[in-house]
Amino acid sequence: MNIHLTSGTFDFLFKMKKKHLAESMILMQNIDNAVLLHETTKSSVFNTPRSFQVLDSFGPLENRGYVVMNNIPVTEEERPLFEYRLKNIKNLFQNLKGFLAIRILQPLKSDTYIVLTLWQNEKAYMDWEHSASYDMFMNEVEMNLSFKTAQLLIGSSYITKYFIPEEK
């Protein structure tokens, strides 16, 4: 399974999504931009996508909710170690209230991995972010990813958050 992402204006991406109704696509936006996600076993319908292989997943990506993407740039030589450390991360999410799905995404043409999580809404994510479970998760991530951090990461990781607007 692959995921392809493209960015643009909401209106343009909305038209693109409507043009490909048979495809599994999710349109999301935040204050800065809009992103169209295409999950497929086939090639992308986008002209110049950011493409990823799904390494691990849990739950279906639904066309509703709140998406959080942890973007983590990793050096080429450290990819196997990084992927090994991410192997069971989905288990930390599966029983969380408001959690819907996760995708661990390996970049096909870049160096930035994405851990994509889908939540029922922003409140569900924020409730988790302010919980003891989140603290345990962050400790687990820190323990797993901090070893050899200087060699493992190319730059700083960052988070992007998006709303999936209701379709009318």
153 and 72 Cβ atoms separated by less than 8 Å: yes
Q: What pLDDT does residue 65 have? A: 97
Q: Please return the burial class of 32, using the count of CB atoms within 10 Å of its CB with bins 0-12, 13-18 and 19+.
A: exposed
Which residues, listed in sequence order, are joined to residue 52 by a DSSP beta bridge? 3, 107
Given a cut of 70, the residues of the chain with pLDDT beneath it are: 138-155, 168
Where along the chain do its domains lie?
49-164
Q: What is residue 1's three-state secondary structure?
A: coil
CATH of domain 49-164: 3.30.70.100
68 and 53 Cβ atoms separated by less than 8 Å: no
pLDDT digits (tens, 9 = 90+) for 91-106: 778 888 999 999 999 9
Distances (CA, A) of 103 to 1, 8, 50, 67, 147: 10, 22, 15, 11, 23
Distance CA 62, CA 100 (A): 8
Q: Name the token pair of 155.
A: 């730059």
Q: What pLDDT does residue 52 have? A: 97
Q: How many CA atoms lie within 13 A of 128 on its CB side?
A: 23
> pTM of whole model > 0.85?
yes
Q: Please return the burial class of 65, using the count of CB atoms within 10 Å of its CB with bins 0-12, 13-18 and 19+.
A: buried
Distance CA 118, CA 42 (A): 23
Q: How many CA atoms lie within 13 A of 10 on its CB side?
A: 11
Q: What pLDDT does residue 87 have? A: 79
